[in-house]
Amino acid sequence: MTNTPNLPEIDPITLEVMRNGLQSIAEEMGSVLKNTSFSPNIKERMDASCAIFDVQGELVAQAEHVPVHLGSMLVALRQILNSTTPLEDGDVILVNDPFIGGAHLPDITLLGGVFFEGELMGYVSTRAHHSDVGGMEPGSMPGRSTEVYQEGLVIPPVRLYKKGVFQEDLLSLVLNNVRTPSERSGDLNAQLAALRTGQKRLTELAYKHGPAHLQAGFTAMLDYAERRIRKRISELPDGLYVAEDALDNDGVTLDPVPVKVAITISGDTISIDFAGSGGILQGNINAVAPMTYSATFYAIKVFTNPDIPVNGGTFRPIDINIPENCFLNAHRPVAVCAGNTETTHRVCDTVLKAAAQFALDKVHAASQGTMNLIGIGGVDPRNGQPYTYIETIAGGEGGKPWSDGTDGVQCNMTNTMNTPVEALEITYPLRVECYEFRKGTGGAGKYRGGLGVTRSVRAIDHEARVSLSAERRVLPPYGLYGGEAGEVGAHFLVSMENSVKELPGKTTFSLPPDHLVIIQTPGGGGWGHPGERQPDAVIEDRLDEKM
C-alpha cells in the first residue's frame, strides 16, 4: 500500500463522496464525447473511453466504457508520460503509437494535465476508435497486414496544444494522412471537449475539497481497492491452475495460435504466467503487453468481485509474466491491429477457463470470443466523397452458472453498441438487408449459450473495399461443466446472381457494386450438462427453433 504520511486523513464518508464525484466526472466526459462526435462509431456505438489519473499516472476513476481501452490505459499512461517531457498547464498530448499507448492505431488518445494554482493534480484522458487513420485499407483494420506501418499513421506522444496554443501544423499533418479528414477533425474536437470537461470538473472538485484532500482521496481510493481485492483473493483456494485455448490462425498461415496460462494463487496474491503461448506472428493478431494486461485484469475482476472499484490499486496484488518473444508481448514493427479486437478476447477466455477450476459460481462458459470486425470504405456515389464504415458485431454470451447466456450482445472485452440500421444507411452508401439472431447457435447445457447474429450489408451503386477480422470461425467457444460448445461464425460474399462464396475469418477484398457481404457471429458455449436443463426451458428452446 501507498505510504504518504504528509497527506491529511480522509474519513470514509468524504472518501465515498469523492469517489462518486470522480466516477461522475468520467461518465460526464463520456457523455460529452458521445454527444459531440461526428462518426457513428463513436456517436452511436460509443467505441471510446474516459478516465482520470493521479500525478503518478495511476488510474483513479473510469467510466464503464470499453474494457479493452481502460485496462490498457491502466498500464500505458506511464509509458506515455515517460516518452515525453513533463506536461505543462495547457498542454494536450495526442498519441496512437501501439508500442507506447498500448492499443492499436485507430485508438487515438488525448491526455491533459489538471493544474490547481500552478500545481499538477492529475491527468484526464479520452481514448476513441477513429474510423480511419490511413494505412493500406479503408478503416485502418486490414484483414492481413504484416507490419504496423500498413495499418495507418503512427503518432508518438506529441503536443496538439502547447501551453494552451493550438498546433495547427500538427493537426494538418494528421488530417492529410487519413481518408476522412473532416470526420477525424470532428471526432478529435469531441475528444478535446470531453477532456476540457474533465479538467474543469476536477478543478471544481479541488476547490470543493482542497487540493491536499483531493490528493489524499486519490491515495485512499487506491488503498481501499487494494484491500478489497486482497481480501477476495485470500478467500480463493491456493494452488496452481492451468488452461489452454487457441486463436484460429494469424490470417497469414492456417495454423492455430496457442494461448497458455498458469494461475498461481498464494494467500492474497495472484501470479499469471503466459509461458508456452505462441511466438511473434506474421499476421496482425500480435498484442502489445498492455492489451494482454487489459484482458487479464478484466478476467480477474470477473472471478473475484466485479463490484470492487477499478483503479490502479485493484491490481497491485497481481503479477503478470509474458515471455519476451511471445505474440502477447509484441514490439515494433509487427502488425497489431487485431491484437486489440481478437487476441484480448482469447486471453480473457483462457484466464477464465483456468479460473473455472476454483471459482465455480463466478465463471461463465466461453462467449463468442471475437469482435467480428467489419470495415467498408470507398467513394460515396451520393457526393463523391470518401467514406469509411467500421463496426464490431455482437454474438452469443456464454451460459452462466445461474442463467442462459444473453443473445446477440457484445461480450467481455468490448462494451460497444451496434450502429442502428437507420444511422448506418443515412451516413453511408450501404444497405443492411438482414439483421437477426442465428437460431440454435448457442451451445446446449443446463444453461445454454446465447445466440449469434447474422448481419448482411450491401454496397449500393459503387465498388467498395471490405476488411473482415474475426475469430471463432474454426475453433468454437468452449462449454463448461458438460456444456456443449457454441457454433462457430462464418463470412459469405453473395453476388447479384445469388452465387455464394465463403470467406476466411481474416481477409480484405473488393466488394463489387450491389454485392452482399454476410457476417454470421458465433454462439456462446453452454454451462452444465444438457440433461440437467429444466423441462420448461427445453420446451421453450424447441418452440423458439420452430418460429
CA distance 151 to 135: 5
8 A C-beta contact, residue 483 and residue 443:
yes
| Structure confidence at residue 71 (pLDDT) | 64
| Structure confidence at residue 151 (pLDDT) | 98
DSSP H or E segment with residue 237: none
CA distance 274 to 195: 36
- pLDDT interval class at 226 (50, 70, 90): very high
- pLDDT interval class at 1 (50, 70, 90): very low
Percentage of the chain beyond pLDDT 70 is 96
ω into residue 12 within 30 of 0, thus cis? no
Scanning the structure block, which residue is given the C-alpha cell 509487427?
334
- pLDDT interval class at 64 (50, 70, 90): low
Q: What DSSP line would sit under 501-517, residue for residue?
A: EEE-SEEEEEE-TT-EE
Least confident of 45-54, 320-329, 331-340: 45-54
Residue 119 bridge partners (DSSP): 116
Cell numbers describing residue 56: 503518478
8 A C-beta contact, residue 406 and residue 525:
no
The 3-state DSSP class for residue 246 equals: strand
Tens of pLDDT, residue by residue over 445-463, are: 999 999 999 999 999 999 9
Section 242-264 average pLDDT: 97
| Structure confidence at residue 63 (pLDDT) | 76
pLDDT at 165 over 70: yes
Contacts with 542 (C-beta within 8 Å, 6 or more apart), sequence order: none
CA distance 118 to 89: 8
Closest CA to 287 of 61, 508, 502, 68: 68
- pLDDT interval class at 114 (50, 70, 90): very high
| Structure confidence at residue 216 (pLDDT) | 93
- pLDDT interval class at 79 (50, 70, 90): confident
8 A C-beta contact, residue 73 and residue 50:
no
Tens of pLDDT, residue by residue over 287-297, are: 999 999 999 99
CA distance 290 to 39: 26
Global pTM reads: 0.94
| Structure confidence at residue 543 (pLDDT) | 62
pLDDT at 72 over 80: no
8 A C-beta contact, residue 483 and residue 528:
yes
C-alpha pair distances (Å), 203 with each of 3, 50, 117, 388, 487: 25, 17, 10, 38, 51
Closest CA to 391 of 410, 364, 405, 378: 410
| Structure confidence at residue 69 (pLDDT) | 57
Strands (E) in 396-442, as ranges, are 430-437
Closest CA to 378 of 294, 481, 465: 465
Distance of CA 294 to the CA centre of its chain: 8
pLDDT at 2 over 60: no
Cell numbers describing residue 288: 502489445
CA distance 345 to 325: 20
CA distance 161 to 92: 5
CA distance 199 to 454: 42
Q: Among 116-120, 354-358, 359-363, 411-415, which range has the highest average pLDDT?
A: 354-358
Task: Give, as one character, the DSSP assignment of residue 342.
Answer: I
- pLDDT interval class at 9 (50, 70, 90): confident
| Structure confidence at residue 3 (pLDDT) | 46
Distance of CA 202 to the CA centre of its chain: 26
Phi, psi of 318 (to 5 degrees): -105, 125
Contacts with 268 (C-beta within 8 Å, 6 or more apart), sequence order: 230, 231, 233, 234, 317
Closest CA to 174 of 195, 194, 189: 189
- The more confidently predicted of residues 176 and 411 is 176
Least confident of 392-396, 413-417, 444-448: 413-417
Section 129-156 average pLDDT: 97
Output the average pLDDT for the chain.
93
Tens of pLDDT, residue by residue over 50-59, are: 999 999 999 9
Terminal alpha carbon distance of the chain: 57
